Amino acid sequence: MRTLITGGTIVTAEGSYVADVLVDGETIAQVGTNLGAGGVSADEVIDAAGKYVIPGAIDVHTHMELPFGGTFAKDTFETGTRAAAFGGTTTIVDFAVQSKGKSLREGLDAWHAKAEGNAVVDYGFHMIMSDVNDASLAEMDALVAEGVPDFKLFTAYPGVFYSDDGAIFRAMQRTARNGGLIMMHAENGMAIDVVAADETDAGHTDPYYHGVARKPIFEGEATNRVIRLAEAAGVPVYIVHLSATDALDEVRAARDRGAMAFAETCPQYLFLSLDDLGNGFEGAKFVCSPPLRPRSHWPELWKGLVKDDLQVVSTDHCPFDFHGQKELGRGDFRKIPNGLPGVEDRVDLLHDGGVVGGHFTRERWVELISAAPAKLFGLYPRKGAVAVGSDADLVVYDPAARHTISAQTHHMDVDYSCYEGREVVGRSDVVLSRGAVVVRDGQFSGRKGWGRFLKRGTADFARLS
């Protein structure tokens, strides 16, 4: 099957130009001007005049079917990747989980079983380590060789995913040797639990106090600590879901002194705020960790994206229904399952808020949502590029289309939207995954099981500091 995409403006991290793209099978075969007139034939022609042609977006932080807070994140690999495709995301990297007392292998096998035959776009895995011991440390090397080269550890969630500094440092030392990357959820979970208990003892049980207890300074402290540990171990470290200026200051300072420190933020920290956690129990819809911050943090985060102190925008997609799931925490905010839906909305929110909103260029937009995550997570130039030989993961994007985000029309399997009623400018018209059209004009044309596991390379770009 050959598909010719004609007359679009190719937008990559490097620049923009009008050209045609020929897709042959699963990869890009040619990029050039007037390919049709030059004798190139195709089975299908897609007219992209007036539209952008961008590399499929890559979301390196999702949690499909994550067991958490006494329940499971609602989207499966089928529903979650389908929603991703509607939003122009053609690759996800999800977090497989090592449960306490179990091996990394058992966790990884379980995630392969969830995804294989179900995902509609390509996927990879990171590994959550919740039990660092001699056996799990030895397993890390094998995972790197199998294309799962990143390990997420937590200074948060005592009793669940939490690791102490010694465990984190041991995992870092091992990763420094095996070529992988350490990802850190950096909040001081021990201190947070003290404040959270104080608040509930004082009768402050509403979702708002989730935001009060998880102070920005606790994120700043933990971010500094894990970066310092990573510097001592000589390993690159990537701070996930950075939300607060306190943490951004630490990342910026580390990068200024030449540390191999990287960070992502997520749309919820750019568009939503602590105010959303108010309004009684409705605020449960916005409970995630780190929590939403006061609006005063927004300008610094946008600036961080412009200045490359933040390299990636991912979603931390981890959806729980309001009814029946978030409601587990009525009367005690500590029992609300943590996480927000968002895999479908990221590309449009960042286009609307970032490009249309005048924060950065369309090229930087593509870099943040596609090229940079591809580079940092061992996928470039197979993904994240519009280049001959790259996978034909492509989005014909209409930068002028307006639509309103709503749970009534989104495709994520969750009963609310954090962005209900927000109008955004920009929308994915046609989405191709490895050469196959999976979404066209709001209709799904892909298939369950089309998505393949991506064996990823090591974090070589992260080591070039």
Binding site residues, ligand URP, CB under 6 A: 63, 185, 241, 288-289, 316, 318, 338-339
Q: Which amino acid is at 47?
A: D
CA 288 – CA 243 distance, rounded (Å) = 11
- To the nearest 10 degrees (0 to 180), the angle between helices 165-178 and 216-233 is 40
- Tell me which residue has its CB nearest to Zn ion: 185
Residue 270 or residue 288: which is nearer to ligand URP going by CB? 288
- Of 12, 462, 92, nearest to 263 by C-alpha is 462
Q: Which is nearer to ligand URP, 326 or 351 (CB)?
A: 326
Smallest separation, CB 230 to ligand URP (Å): 19
DSSP labels for 266-292? -HHHHH--GGGG-SGGGGGGG--SSPP
* 288 binds, options ligand URP, Zn ion, none, Cβ within 5 to 8 A by partner type: ligand URP
Beta carbon nearer to Zn ion, 73 or 172: 73
> Which two tokens mark 239?
């701070």
Identity of the residue, 288 or 372, whose beta carbon is nearer to ligand URP in the bound complex:
288
CB of 396 to Zn ion, least distance (A): 30
| Closest CB to ligand URP among residues 11, 288 | 288
Sequence-distant (≥ 6) Cβ neighbours of residue 51 within 8 angstroms: 8, 9, 396, 397, 398, 399, 429
Shortest gap between Cβ of 293 and Zn ion (angstroms)? 15
Q: Answer whether the bond into residue 290 is a cis peptide, omega within 30°.
A: yes
In the bound state with ligand URP, the residue whose beta carbon lies nearer, of 250 and 316, is 316
Tell me if 329 sits within 8 A of 336, measured CB to CB.
yes
As measured in angstroms, the least distance from the Cβ of 287 to ligand URP is 7
Helix axes 134-145, 104-115, angle to 10 degrees: 40
Q: Which does 338 bind (CB under 5 to 8 A by kind): ligand URP, Zn ion, none?
A: ligand URP
- Applying CB under 5 A, among 199, 316, 345, 348 the residue interacting with Zn ion is 316
Q: How far is the CB of 340 from Zn ion (least distance, A)?
A: 10
With residue 346 as reference, give the H or E element that holds it. helix 346-350
* DSSP classification of residue 448: T
Distances 401 to 7, 352, 427 between C-alpha atoms, Å? 18, 10, 6
Specify the residue, 289 or 325, whose C-beta has the smaller distance to ligand URP.
289
The residue sitting closest to ligand URP, measured at its beta carbon, is: 338
| Closest distance to ligand URP from the beta carbon of 128 (Å) | 9
Total site size for Zn ion, rule CB under 5 A:
2
> Restricting to residues 171-190, which ones interact with Zn ion according to CB under 5 A?
185
Residue closer to ligand URP by CB (options 185, 334) is: 185
Phi, psi of 213 (to 5 degrees): -70, -35
Residue 120 contact partner, candidates ligand URP, Zn ion, none, CB within 5 to 8 A by sort of partner: none
CB of 439 to ligand URP, least distance (A): 26
- In the complex, what is the shortest distance from the CB of residue 186 to Zn ion, in angstroms, rounded to a whole number? 9
> Using an 8 Å Cβ cutoff, are 271 and 417 in contact?
no
Three-class SS state of 195:
helix
Residues forming contacts to Zn ion in the complex (CB under 5 A) are: 185, 316
